[in-house]
């Protein structure tokens, strides 16, 4: 797409999102205690509400600034391999869309203006049958069609993943972006159409974990964030942010939530248009 006019002549668009890998902290996090020797990691396994159940915190924060975001929910079914510790993080501690509390928050988010999308499981990016199953199960919990997806671990095989997603009814994918860096991959400042039709790609620009692991102090992180925000503004483009919902737990991720809020305040000050994935899709398809 060439330059696009945003609603109310806003200079650029901001797409906020949250990948919901886990909704609760469980026994699989015991290695954190062994590594850090912090009693917190033992106590937090029994805290109520669970320290990773941060939905209300996010909703309260975003309501404060009159913005909404997209939550991508995960249904991971990868089998555990006891002799391969690397499989533990993928195979343990997951949740089901039909758990009463999970189903309730999914429907509450939707009813209050947030968007619910699918966080495709680790192997689903090349597995049509698996992705169909996950999509149907999330739609059953939500009670309506799911149009957006982001693949777990940003797994992407182009164009096969997009062909599968499009074929089974997704309207946009939000996976495309750097796994280990911050910025506009391939200088993609706007949504694009890999098949020149109504299926869109919304590039990912800033991911929380990458930002905090690659840049090691607050000043450097903010400098990098400001760099990409300025670029989005100059290009009249879209900047997307991914903050996992569990990182709003201040005890374990100090400063992550406050940086997210700082980003919102800064973009608000620059008169950006904030939107969910669905809102962005509706606008670009209308303008296409």
Q: Indicate the pLDDT class of residue 76, thresholds 50, 70 and 90.
A: confident
> 96-118 pLDDT, tens per residue?
999 999 999 999 999 999 999 99
> What is the number of residues in the chain?
288
- Cα separation, 1 vs 286, whole angstroms: 13
**Residue 46 CB partners (closer than 8 Å, separation 6+):** none
Q: Dihedral through CA 177, CA 183, CA 184, CA 185, nearest 10?
A: -50
> 82-95 pLDDT, tens per residue?
544 554 566 555 89
Terminal CA-CA length for the chain: 8
State mean pLDDT over 118-124.
96
Q: Residue 86's pLDDT is what?
A: 53
**Residue 101 CB partners (closer than 8 Å, separation 6+):** 23
Q: Residue 288's pLDDT is what?
A: 75
- Cα separation, 185 vs 144, whole angstroms: 32
State mean pLDDT over 110-134.
97
Query: Which of 145, 23, 15, 36 is closest to 76 using CA atoms?
Result: 23
State mean pLDDT over 49-74.
96
Query: Which of 101, 95, 98, 103 is closest to 77 using CA atoms?
Result: 95
Judged against a pLDDT cut of 60, whether residue 59 lies above it is answered with yes
> What is the rounded radius of gyration, in angstroms, for the C-alpha atoms of the chain?
18
In sequence order, what DSSP letters do the residues of 170-215 get, joined into one string? Answer: --EE---B-SSS-S-GGG--S-B-TTSSS-EE--B-EEHHHHHHHS
Pairing relationship of beta strands 238-242 and 206-207 according to DSSP bridges: parallel
Residue 271 has what DSSP assignment? T
Helices (H) and strands (E) in the chain, counts: 11, 9
- Cα separation, 24 vs 31, whole angstroms: 16
Judged against a pLDDT cut of 70, whether residue 31 lies above it is answered with no
Judged against a pLDDT cut of 80, whether residue 68 lies above it is answered with yes
Pairing relationship of beta strands 206-207 and 200-201 according to DSSP bridges: unpaired
Q: Residue 93's pLDDT is what?
A: 58
What's the whole-number average pLDDT of the chain? 90
Residue 52: helix, strand or coil by DSSP? coil
Cβ(179)–Cβ(151) below 8 Å: no
The model carries a pTM of: 0.93
Q: Which residue's entry shows tokens 């699989």?
A: 28
Please compute, for residue 287, the number of CA atoms within 13 A of its CA located in the half-sphere on the CB side: 17
Cβ(273)–Cβ(6) below 8 Å: yes
CATH class of 9-287: alpha beta
State mean pLDDT over 52-72.
97
State mean pLDDT over 145-164.
98
- Cα separation, 120 vs 114, whole angstroms: 19
What are the extents of the domains in the chain?
9-287
């Amino acid at each position: 797409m060439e330059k696009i006019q945003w609603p109310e002549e806003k200079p650029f668009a901001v797409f906020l999102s949250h990948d919901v890998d886990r909704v609760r902290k469980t026994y699989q996090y015991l290695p954190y205690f062994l590594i850090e020797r912090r009693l917190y990691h033992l106590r937090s396994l029994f805290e109520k509400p669970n320290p990773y159940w941060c939905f209300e915190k996010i909703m309260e924060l975003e309501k404060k600034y009159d913005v909404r975001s997209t939550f991508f929910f995960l249904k991971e079914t990868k089998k555990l391999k006891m002799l391969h510790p690397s499989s533990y993080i993928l195979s343990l501690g997951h949740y089901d869309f039909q758990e009463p509390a999970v189903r309730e928050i999914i429907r509450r988010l939707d009813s209050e203006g947030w968007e619910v999308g699918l966080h495709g499981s680790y192997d689903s990016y090349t597995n049509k049958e698996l992705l169909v199953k996950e999509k149907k199960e999330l739609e059953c919990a939500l009670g309506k069609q799911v149009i957006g997806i982001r693949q777990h671990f940003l797994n992407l095989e182009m164009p096969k993943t997009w062909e599968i997603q499009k074929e089974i009814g997704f309207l946009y994918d939000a996976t495309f972006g750097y796994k280990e860096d911050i910025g506009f991959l391939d200088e993609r400042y706007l949504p694009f159409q890999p098949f020149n039709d109504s299926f869109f790609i919304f590039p990912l620009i800033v991911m929380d974990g990458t930002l905090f692991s690659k840049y090691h102090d607050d000043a450097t992180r903010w400098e990098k964030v400001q760099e990409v925000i300025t670029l989005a503004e100059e290009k009249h483009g879209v900047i997307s942010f991914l903050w996992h919902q569990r990182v709003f737990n201040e005890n374990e991720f100090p400063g992550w939530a406050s940086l997210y809020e700082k980003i919102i305040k800064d973009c608000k000050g620059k008169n950006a248009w904030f939107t969910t994935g669905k809102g962005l899709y509706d606008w670009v398809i209308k303008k296409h």
